[in-house]
Amino acid sequence: MRSRDDKKQEALYLATIKLVNEIGFSASSVAKIAREAGVSPATLYIYFKNKEDLLVSTYLEIKEEMGRALLAGFDEGLPVHDLLHRVWCNTFAYVSENLAEFRYTEQFANSPYSELVDKTRVRAHFEPLLRVIQQGIDRKIIKDVDPDILTAFLFHPIMVLANPKHCSSFKPSGENIEIAFRMAWDALRL
Amino acid sequence: MRSRDDKKQEALYLATIKLVNEIGFSASSVAKIAREAGVSPATLYIYFKNKEDLLVSTYLEIKEEMGRALLAGFDEGLPVHDLLHRVWCNTFAYVSENLAEFRYTEQFANSPYSELVDKTRVRAHFEPLLRVIQQGIDRKIIKDVDPDILTAFLFHPIMVLANPKHCSSFKPSGENIEIAFRMAWDALRL
Amino acid sequence: MRSRDDKKQEALYLATIKLVNEIGFSASSVAKIAREAGVSPATLYIYFKNKEDLLVSTYLEIKEEMGRALLAGFDEGLPVHDLLHRVWCNTFAYVSENLAEFRYTEQFANSPYSELVDKTRVRAHFEPLLRVIQQGIDRKIIKDVDPDILTAFLFHPIMVLANPKHCSSFKPSGENIEIAFRMAWDALRL
Amino acid sequence: MRSRDDKKQEALYLATIKLVNEIGFSASSVAKIAREAGVSPATLYIYFKNKEDLLVSTYLEIKEEMGRALLAGFDEGLPVHDLLHRVWCNTFAYVSENLAEFRYTEQFANSPYSELVDKTRVRAHFEPLLRVIQQGIDRKIIKDVDPDILTAFLFHPIMVLANPKHCSSFKPSGENIEIAFRMAWDALRL
DNA sequence: GATGAATGAGTGTTCATTCAT
DNA sequence: CATGAATGAACACTCATTCAT
């Protein structure tokens, strides 16, 4: 028998991301994704149970990779400020280098499919970061407020700024990134 | 294309918003929207050029209404801080009272249709606010940074916090809203 | 608007019967049936909820018509023997003149779809006949046995003999029909 | 095509019968049959030329076995009546103990595949029985009518009565079986 | 001999849109 | 103005069969 080809699975992931970026979530049909990946639509169903499985798997794949990228060089010995700064910069780097992947996750999160993912599993990839934030709170460095609020001021601004689609004038230069981080820190710190 | 029976047009707007919320953007077919609105699919084409026109018009309609709501009681004589605070509270009020409309705009903005809208027209509805921010900068009250950055720390956190879908623990109590505004202000002020 | 066209519904019934006869139940796809009926597959779904509905409706349509045909000239004043003889002859006439319809019902009854029909509704079309048989039992003309047994000797032999597919030598001449009825009567009568 | 591993071949026969009974003829795909039999779809094609061959072979296999069962204890020295009675009882026994196999043959006979089998080969399995019937005719014990008619009153009633699917009230108790045989004999005998 | 991978052709069904009334 | 009927094209998915190992 022919052996299962990881190349094909990878090609399907990439085709999915590419198409969703180019023509959007709902226009990305199984047929188009398969054609883009260079396989038959029937083949897609060897690697994924159905379309939903393909889309969810693609999302989880990206989230895992993204978690690794954001936490690169994450040394928990460093001060909270420095750790957050490191993650902040990592995020900008990841998003600008993997814009398609990032946009896929945004479209996915705003689709009905998003309700199918186990959110705690996704959160797990970012666990060390959440721990450090808690540390910052305990040490009275960061405001002691609801975690959702912290997230809203720490991560969402990056997400917006790093995605050219949402920005008309902002350019992610090193300087701008530092300015924005400074503001996030002003928001969070006690 | 337009006609006198605004009841039907309004019903189509509401049906669109309701369905997109319930079953998502891509599952909201013309036939379902028409049925929900209590008209024939053919009738829809009297009021809107095509599906795209329906979706875009619905979006613009919401954005206009939303602009009005956010700027309610906007007295440019007040200090910058107070004005932003007023808008902040208005936003929370609008989103929590019009969650379906708000979610529609989020789904719309993350779809390929979003590229069809004239963004300057949308921006116009929020013009007074932008003017006040510029004032704040000129008077050295607000940091002199790219407007996109200011937006990222002023509006996006609200959008996130006001939408229960994105929050697991945060509850939009009056106190929480004040805490969050305080953080936004910390980020922006000089 | 265009008005609903009974011609099309009828054409779909006929196409279904024809195709099931020619290529069998499972090979009769919606696309082929629609093409045979001269309409688009999408049109089929205006007249029937889905394929199942089409097949079941076709079956019920035939059964109703068949009930009428078998009971033509059914005068309950006649003796039991004569009434059964009349039905016997009607059945031969119906089946030989409507072989395609008859075969459709046979294929249908042997498909999983058969479990979807309300059997009491079908039985209703043959009610007068069942009543007469009960009369024959009460008057001690017909053996007092389980109704299924009577049916097995009264109807099933006709079904078999009238369907050339099941017969290699039998020809439904008037004489043969009489011979066969004589045997059925011998089986039933006390 | 054939090979030595009769276990697999037998498993495929059984899987085919089981699935056709459970989900019907048309829903029984090669893939499902193979899975049910615990082999790969490709393996199926080692033992059978194609799906048609599998279905026809399964039918013939059953018919052969059935012929053996019906003629068990068939002593041509016995009177015609007793021989037919014996076959009658054998049939009830076989069908009730091998309902799945029996139903398979019914579904098969009502499918287009049935036209692919050499009917004389099937008939051969029942040859002694046909011979005895002819004997009955010659000895003026049985009515001298077309063999198809005899079959219609001898075998088809059993087929119907033995298959619970066709009966709403009839139960194949010993007594009922005798009653039914009595009726068949009444129909046939001179 | 045995298999999982692979696929073109097909499945039933829904789509956005137009037509005739 | 308003509509249900109509449809070609597309949808997600499965089919029987073959291929390479």
In three-state secondary structure terms, C104 is helix
Closest residue to E2 (CA to C1') is D43
> In this predicted structure, what is the pLDDT of residue C5?
75
Taking CB atoms and an 8 Å cutoff, what residues of chain C touch D148?
160-161, 166-170
Question: What string of DSSP letters covers chain B?
Answer: ---S-HHHHHHHHHHHHHHHHHH-TTT--HHHHHHHHTS-HHHHHHHSSSHHHHHHHHHHHHHHHHHHHHTTT--TTS-HHHHHHHHHHHHHHHHHH-HHHHHHHHHHHTSGGGGGS-HHHHHHTTHHHHHHHHHHHHTTSB----HHHHHHHHHHHHHHHH-GGG-SS----HHHHHHHHHHHHHHHB-
Give the CATH number of the domain where residue C40 resides.
1.10.10.60
Q: Are residues D74 and D117 in the same domain?
A: yes
Q: How many CB pairs under 8 A join C and D?
A: 113
Q: What is the mean pLDDT of residues D79-94?
A: 94
CA separation for the pair D67, C58 (Å, rounded): 37
Q: Are residues A107 and A157 in the same domain?
A: yes
Taking 70 as the threshold, does the pLDDT of residue D183 lie above it?
Answer: yes
Q: Does D24 touch chain C (CB under 8 A)?
A: yes
pLDDT in tens, B117-166: 998 999 999 999 999 999 999 999 999 999 999 999 998 998 889 888 88
Q: Are residues A23 and A93 in the same domain?
A: no
Among C108-117, C177-186, D30-39, D54-63, the minimum mean pLDDT is found in: C108-117
End-to-end CA distance of chain D: 51
Whether residue A105 is contained in a domain is answered as yes
Query: How far is residue C80 from each of residues C83, C85, D26, measured CA to CA in Å?
Result: 5, 8, 42
Q: What is the dihedral of CA A24, A30, A36, A40, to 10 degrees?
A: 180
CA separation for the pair D138, D143 (Å, rounded): 9
Q: Are residues D121 and D164 in the same domain?
A: yes
Whether residue A91 is contained in a domain is answered as yes
Q: Are residues C138 and C170 in the same domain?
A: yes
Q: How many CB pairs under 8 A join A and B?
A: 113
Q: Do D183 and C180 touch (CB under 8 A)?
A: no
Whether residue A87 is contained in a domain is answered as yes
Identify the closest residue of chain B to A145 by CA–CA distance.
B179
User: Pick from A60, A9, A4, A65: which is nearest to A37 by CA?
Assistant: A9
Q: Predicted confidence band at C165 (pLDDT cuts at 50, 70, 90)?
A: confident
Q: Are residues A108 and A150 in the same domain?
A: yes
For residue C30, give both structure tokens: 């919606």
Whether residue C54 is contained in a domain is answered as no
Task: Compare CB distances from B146 to A112, A149, A170 and report the shortest one's residue.
Answer: A170
Q: Which of residues 152-181 of C touch D (CB under 8 A)?
A: 152-153, 156-157, 160-161, 166-171, 176, 179-180
pTM: 0.91
CB B69 within 8 A of CB B94: yes
Q: What is the mean pLDDT of residues A35-52?
A: 96
Q: How many CA atoms lie within 13 A of A165 on its CB side?
A: 18
Q: Are residues B138 and B79 in the same domain?
A: yes
Q: Do C25 and D26 touch (CB under 8 A)?
A: yes
B5 CA to chain A: closest CA distance, Å? 32
A3 Cβ contacts chain E strand, under 7 Å: yes
Q: What residue ranges of chain B have pLDDT lower than 50? A: 1-2
For residue D82, give both structure tokens: 């007793």
Q: Are residues A4 and A90 in the same domain?
A: no
B25 Cβ contacts chain E strand, under 7 Å: no
The 10 Å CB-count burial string (b at 16+, else e) for A35-54 is: ebbebeeeebeebbeebeeb
Range of the domain at D38: 1-48
Whether residue C154 is contained in a domain is answered as yes
* Average confidence score pLDDT of chain D: 92
Taking CB atoms and an 8 Å cutoff, what residues of chain C touch D169?
146-148
C1 Cβ contacts chain E strand, under 7 Å: yes
For residue A61, give both structure tokens: 């794949």
Identify the closest residue of chain A to B186 by CA–CA distance.
A187
Q: What percent of chain C has pLDDT over 90?
A: 77
Q: Do A161 and B168 touch (CB under 8 A)?
A: no
Q: Predicted confidence band at C54 (pLDDT cuts at 50, 70, 90)?
A: very high
Q: Are residues C9 and C88 in the same domain?
A: no
CA separation for the pair D177, D89 (Å, rounded): 8
D 25-64, residues with C-beta < 7 Å of strand F: 27-32, 41-42, 44-45, 50-52
Taking CB atoms and an 8 Å cutoff, what residues of chain A touch B146?
169-170, 176, 179
Q: Are residues D132 and D183 in the same domain?
A: yes
Domain tally, chain B = 2
> In this predicted structure, what is the pLDDT of residue D4?
57
Query: How far is residue D93 from each of residues B8, C6, C89, C150, D153, measured CA to CA in Å?
Result: 70, 50, 34, 21, 19
Distance CA A112 to C1' E14 in A: 19
> In this predicted structure, what is the pLDDT of residue C15?
97
Whether residue D63 is contained in a domain is answered as no
Q: What is the mean pLDDT of residues A161-184?
A: 90
Task: Compare CB distances from D170 to C26, C107, C146 and report the shortest one's residue.
Answer: C146
Q: What is the mean pLDDT of residues A45-55?
A: 97
Taking 90 as the threshold, does the pLDDT of residue A157 lie above it?
Answer: yes
Q: What is the mean pLDDT of residues A171-187?
A: 93
> In this predicted structure, what is the pLDDT of residue D1?
45
Burial of A152 (0-12, 13-18, 19+ CB in 10 A): buried
Q: Are residues D78 and D122 in the same domain?
A: yes
DSSP 8-state assignment for residue C4: P
Strand F nucleotides where any atom sits below 7 Å of a protein CB: 1-21
End-to-end CA distance of chain A: 63
Query: How far is residue A46 from each of residues A30, A60, C44, D33, measured CA to CA in Å?
Result: 13, 19, 32, 18
In sequence order, what are the residues at sequence separation of 6 or more whose Cβ sits closer than 8 angstroms to the Cβ of residue C157? C180, C183, C184, D149, D152, D153, D156, D157
Q: What percent of chain D has pLDDT over 70?
A: 98
D87 CA to chain C: closest CA distance, Å? 18
**Nearest nucleotide by C1' from B54 CA?**
E16
CA separation for the pair A88, D4 (Å, rounded): 67
CA separation for the pair A33, A48 (Å, rounded): 13
> In this predicted structure, what is the pLDDT of residue B165?
82
Q: Are residues D38 and D72 in the same domain?
A: no
Whether residue B62 is contained in a domain is answered as no
- Look at the block and give the residue holding tokens 């510029």: B134
Q: Predicted confidence band at C87 (pLDDT cuts at 50, 70, 90)?
A: very high
> In this predicted structure, what is the pLDDT of residue B2?
47
* Average confidence score pLDDT of chain A: 93
Amino acid at C6: D
> In this predicted structure, what is the pLDDT of residue D35?
95
B 137-156, residues with C-beta < 7 Å of strand F: none
User: Bigger pLDDT: A165 or A8?
Assistant: A8
Distance CA A42 to C1' E6 in A: 8
Whether residue B112 is contained in a domain is answered as yes
**Three-state SS string across chain D, please?**
CCCCCHHHHHHHHHHHHHHHHHHCCCCCCHHHHHHHHCCCHHHHHHHCCCHHHHHHHHHHHHHHHHHHHHCCCCCCCCCHHHHHHHHHHHHHHHHHHCHHHHHHHHHHHCCHHHHHCCHHHHHHCCHHHHHHHHHHHHCCCECCCCHHHHHHHHHHHHHHHHCHHHCCCCCCCHHHHHHHHHHHHHHHEC
Residues in a beta bridge with B10: none
CA separation for the pair C176, D119 (Å, rounded): 24
Give the CATH number of the domain where residue C72 resides.
1.10.357.10
Taking 70 as the threshold, does the pLDDT of residue A168 lie above it?
Answer: yes
Closest residue to E18 (CA to C1') is B42
Q: What is the mean pLDDT of residues C46-75?
A: 95
